[in-house]
Amino acid sequence: MTDHLATPTIEKAPDSPPAAADLATMLLIRHFELALLDLFARGELHGTTHTCLGQEYVPVALAPLLTARDYVFSNHRGHGHYIARFGDPAGLLAEIMGRAGGVCHGVGGSQHVFRDRYLSTGVQGESLPVATGVALHLKREEPGALALAYIGDGTWGEGAVYEALNMAALWRLPLLVVVENNGIAQSTPTTAELAGTIGGRAAAFGCAHLRVENTDPAEIRAVAGPLVERVREGVPLVLEFVTNRLGPHSKGDDTRPAAELSRVRAADWHAR
């Protein structure tokens, strides 16, 4: 599979806002997450929640590249993944608040959501081997469909990631691994816990890799779209988004210094 390794980097950050439809969904996710933090501050929500502030464009860029036949495996920071997939903020809010009308009748909460072919979990690395098994099923029974698993940069510390990539590459499975690399694993900078690069680790298994430094959904789709179609043919892809986490790890535990917070806020797509 070495012929598939030379994939480009989408570097240029756009100067103008995204297209109207993409922007509408990005803003919906942004204000949904801000509303959650406000509800927590007022004591109207319980437990915890992990917002995707700053990363909203990632699932928005990918949503049009997916079909109803595809499986999506989300993670603890998955509200944007769900909203981009289904456009259902009301059902998700009811779920997070533990109310009737929630996606899972209020018993799954913020991190554990199931709907159709969408599943989320709060356990680091758990979804990737499951997605690999589903991808094997799809290859055998539903050719042309794929399994997408969202993981973060911190999840590359889990051995299950490497076992999954090994099987996916060996068996040429329709597996799309979307890495939201926001540079920090809870409170540990990625530079302090990840040797080498994510692209280098993907290459070690013969998996294609695309690094995305752009935040415009249309520009991302233009480059990533053909590679996603190759995933459907059995060419696994690690799609790495270099992004920023504006908010705390969960609802109020941000230990980053002021200078780092200023840097990530200055890079926020919302400012445009």
Q: Indicate the pairing of strand 114-115 with strand 71-74.
A: unpaired
The Cα 135–Cα 226 span in angstroms is: 19
- For 207-254, how does the pLDDT look when each residue is reduced to its tens digit (9 = 90+)? 999 999 999 999 999 999 999 999 999 999 999 999 887 876 677 667
Between 23 and 272, the more confident residue is 23
Conformational region of residue 16, where left means phi above 0, alpha means psi within -120 to 50, and beta covers everything else: beta
9: three-class secondary structure by DSSP: strand
Contact 125, 76 (CB under 8 A): no
Whole-model pTM above 0.85?
Answer: yes
- State which amino acid sits at residue 86: F
The pair of three-digit structure tokens given for residue 100, joined into one six-digit string: 């009737």
The Cα 175–Cα 225 span in angstroms is: 14
Mean pLDDT to the nearest integer, 78-90: 97
Contact 150, 121 (CB under 8 A): no
The pair of three-digit structure tokens given for residue 249, joined into one six-digit string: 């790890």
The Cα 111–Cα 113 span in angstroms is: 6
Mean pLDDT to the nearest integer, 171-176: 98
Fold (topology level) of 2-251: Rossmann fold (3.40.50)
Contact 17, 37 (CB under 8 A): no
Alpha helices, H only, 20-88 = 20-41, 57-62, 79-86
Contact 66, 72 (CB under 8 A): yes
pLDDT of residue 113: 95
- For 43-78, how does the pLDDT look when each residue is reduced to its tens digit (9 = 90+)? 998 888 888 899 999 999 999 999 999 999 999 999
pLDDT of residue 254: 73
pLDDT at residue 7 greater than cutoff 60: no
pLDDT of residue 192: 62
